[in-house]
Amino acid sequence: MTRVLFFILIFPITAFSQEIFPYYHFNSSQLISKHDKYIIPKQALDTMHFTEGFAAVKIDAKTGFANSKGVIAIEAKYDTVIQFWQDGLAIMGIKKEGNLVEGGINKEGVEVIPFKFTTIKEDDGIWAARDANDTISLYLASGLLLAENIESYEINPTGYIIIEKSRRWGVKNKKGDVLVPIKYKHIQEEFPDEFLATPFPVWKAKDIKNTTIASFECDSLSSVAPKLFRFEINKKSGLITMEGTELLAPVYDRIDTAAGLLLLQNEGRLGLADFSGKIILPLAYDSVLVDREGFVRGKLGGYWGLYDSKGKELLQPVYSGLSKPSEKTVATKNKQGLWGYVSFSGDTILSFQYTYAGNFKNDSATVGIKGKLVVIDKVGKVLVPTKYYPQYHFGLYHKEDTINCYVYPSHFHYQYADAGDGYILVKQGKYKGVVNKAGKLIVPIEYDSIFAPSADTVFLVTKDFTIGTYDKYGNTLSTPNEKLQQVFPLHDNRARMLKKDRYGYIDKMGNVRISPQYANAMDYSDNRAAVVITGRWAFIDENENIIAQPYYSDVYPFVNGAGRVKQNGKWNFVSKSGKEVNSAWYDEIVPTPYGKWYLYNKKRMGIADSSGLEIIVPRYEQIEDFGNGYYKVKRDNIIGVLNNKADFIIPFEYDDARFDHINKLFLVVTKGKEEILRLGPTKAKK
């Protein structure tokens, strides 16, 4: 007969398995078999501690339960006891893949709470089971599931369970009945059986015919892609489709678009998802950079790694620095602070030896050697030495394909800066000149200042307060002659100048076109210039004809054929012919971001088109230009949408409105109003 050795572990009623108790063991002659069950001798039964008729026993390092008759009623297959019997339920622990998970069994040994939770605690007759994702499921001792995957809950004295799930609140009773749907922004108990509930705002996506395309209940809504929206609930963001399918639960502090992916952020950690809601990188990174070429750089534990747009790891996160990949190479920085180049498989292309490493382009890259910049090829050969690097940077030192070498202009010792339109400003000492990308000197290096080229590429130069001009071919249009106090950049082929404290204008040839006679003047715009005549502002054309008489105390330059003018404390527009555009005058006129004008009058707002013509009378508390011929208007704190004809597209019904430029829809919202909910046995009533 096989000898069997088993142990009885004695627990007090309130004890937990991690406490230490004496073992009782018996040899096989003291065991009898009855109906294939172990029987514990009476002398052992007398010393055992029972809870609800069961005592824990340990057999071969596993725990089960014996009944008061000494029979092993529940097989010894658990690793530990977490909570002894209460209302017919015991919480046990089982090791799975090296981790202890908790679950619940009844007195028949049936699993009534699944073994998948990190902790299970009793709370006012309810068993709260928390999983590895920190979500909670609520059970009765019978195993009845009351709520699953919730964030938090509260059991009030009346016995109602206030539940938060997906950042939304509702109420259940201890039978699991839904008394208040889990859809509210906030719920609080006012009196027994009475709750104050705040609904979420209702957002609607509408077309220009005011047809509702979709509806959402959330705090805020904005599009991230066609038919895809970022929504916010109680300060947490999620992702939802136009049809209402929730792709990402509202658990993130922020969701931002990043080169065709979604950058997720929560509690200082970053991750990535695609537009289907699939997680590309887990929410574990210190920093994430997404390149348009489809590469992702992620910083994990202080070190950078490289991934593709699907989340596949290309380079392990072991580098102190990692640049944008180019030409199948990646500049990487080691822990000692030196840079080198590796392939996508991590193989070394150029060892860590540089103080700086730029991206490869056309098989060459800029690197730093002992703090000096040079250009190298992919085997590390220096192509451009340090002394020629400034010319290389501005395109003056380039590769000649026919002889496979580098050429450079003779004036390599100059300082360089961008002159605009592809031209380079060169400086030697205090004097300046201009060269083109071919290295040809366009403007000699002998001038005090050189202005950015005009629209037809004329360079205005000054020397000892005299002015001259050059064309883009290096031809002298005019030489410095007349001495001036100050010269301003060319606008509409005219440059404002100051001589003897009076303003006039010269042309691009340096010829004086309008003599310096005005006490103040502005640059030309739309071939009109504002000048002061007898203390008031007027407008003149390029031939000095007075277009608008000197009636105005203040003006702004012409834009889109209209200039703003002020008279007697009110504003209007004048046309290029000098006529006042509107019969009405306004307290203030301000440009919109989209080329139109906000009109203010008596604390009300209207709109003028780009020419200054009034199209919406100032009668609204607030107006916002959507930039597409539609305008959000506010009156009596209610929002609607108008078109360019002042017709209503969206009627005055909403608390706010936006235009979704991705889906070409209006997003309008109505804020939720608080409700008093009085609870009956199974439902809530307003």
Higher pLDDT, 166 or 26: 166
Asked whether residue 159 falls in the same domain as residue 90, the answer is no
Q: What is the percentage of the chain residues whose pLDDT exceeds 70?
A: 90
The pLDDT of 259-278, averaged and rounded, is 97
Q: Is residue 554 part of a domain?
A: no
Instruction: Based on the fold, state whether residues 95 and 184 are members of the same structural domain.
Output: no
- Start-to-end CA distance of the chain, whole Å, equals 74
Same domain, 23 and 69: yes
pLDDT of residue 60: 84
**CA-based torsion, 507, 510, 516, 522: positive or negative:** positive
Give the end of a domain, one of 88, 116, 149.
Answer: 149
SS3 content of the chain, % helix, strand, coil (to 5): 0, 60, 40
| Same-domain check for residues 72 and 155 | no
565 occurs within a structural domain:
no
Q: pLDDT > 90: what percent of the chain?
A: 73
Query: Could you tell me the pTM of the whole model?
Result: 0.80
Q: How confident is the model at residue 29 (pLDDT cuts 50, 70, 90)?
A: very low
Is 30 among the domain residues? yes
What's the pLDDT at 482? 72
Kindly report which listed range (34-48, 205-219, 428-442, 610-624) carries the lowest average pLDDT score.
34-48
* pLDDT class of 17 with cuts at 50, 70, 90: very low
Domain tally, the chain = 2
Residues 144-168 pLDDT 10s: 999 999 999 999 888 899 999 989 9
Contact, 654 vs 662, CB < 8 A? no
Give per-residue pLDDT as tens, 631-682. Answer: 999 999 999 999 999 999 999 999 999 999 999 999 999 999 999 998 865 4
pLDDT digits (tens, 9 = 90+) for 594-618: 999 999 999 999 999 999 999 999 9
Q: Are residues 112 and 140 in the same domain?
A: yes
pLDDT of residue 43: 53
State residue 420's pLDDT score.
84
Tell me how far apart the alpha carbons of residues 262 and 224 are, in angstroms, rounded to a whole number: 9
681 occurs within a structural domain: yes
Residue 122 located in a structural domain = yes
Same domain? For 22 and 53 the reply is yes
The residues pairing with 61 across neighbouring beta strands, listed in sequence order, are: none
Of 147-156, 484-493, 547-556, minimum mean pLDDT range: 484-493
Separation CA 234–CA 19 (nearest Å): 43
Q: Which residue range(s) make up the domain with 683? A: 151-199+671-686
Residue 101 and residue 118 share a domain: yes
In whole angstroms, give the CA distance from residue 183 to residue 197: 10
Residues 135 and 156 in one domain: no
* 428, two tokens: 């030697």
CATH number at residue 94: 2.40.128
Q: How confident is the model at residue 520 (pLDDT cuts 50, 70, 90)?
A: very high
Last residue of a domain, one of 115, 149, 183: 149
Whether 458 shows a pLDDT value over 60: the answer reads yes
Which of 217, 174, 177, 175 is CA-nearest to residue 197? 217
Give the residue ranges of DSSP H helices in 462-614.
none
Contact between 86 and 93 (Cβ < 8 Å): no
Does residue 137 sit in the same domain as residue 171? Answer: no
Asked if 63 and 172 sit in the same domain, the reply is: no
Q: Are 642 and 631 in contact (CB under 8 A)?
A: yes
Distance, in Å, from the CA atom of 69 to the CA atom of 105, rounded to the nearest integer, reads 20
Confidence at residue 30, expressed as pLDDT on a 0 to 100 scale: 34
pLDDT score, position 412: 58
Mean pLDDT to the nearest integer, 478-488: 82
pLDDT value for 247: 98
Query: Considering the domain boundaries, does residue 80 fall inside one?
Result: yes
Tokens representing 363 are 């098989």
Calculate the CA dihedral of residues 348, 349, 355, 360 and round it to 10 degrees: -140
pLDDT for 411 equals 59
Does residue 577 sit within a domain?
Answer: no
Residue 402 binned pLDDT confidence (cut-offs 50, 70, 90)? very low
Mean pLDDT of 351-355: 96
Using the predicted structure, report yes or no on whether residue 285 has a pLDDT greater than 90. yes
pLDDT, averaged across the chain: 89
Residue 416 lies in a domain: no
> Taking 70 as the threshold, does the pLDDT of residue 563 lie above it?
yes
* pLDDT(630) > 60: yes
Q: Would you state the pLDDT for residue 464?
A: 87
Question: Do both 41 and 73 map to the same domain?
Answer: yes
Assess whether 139 and 160 both reside in one domain: no
User: Strands, DSSP E only, in 534-611?
Assistant: 536-540, 546-552, 554-555, 562-567, 570-575, 588-591, 597-601, 604-608
8 Å CB contact between 138 and 147:
yes
Torsions phi, psi for 389 (to 5 deg) = -65, -40
28 DSSP assignment: G
Gap between the Cα atoms of 556 and 642, Å rounded: 28
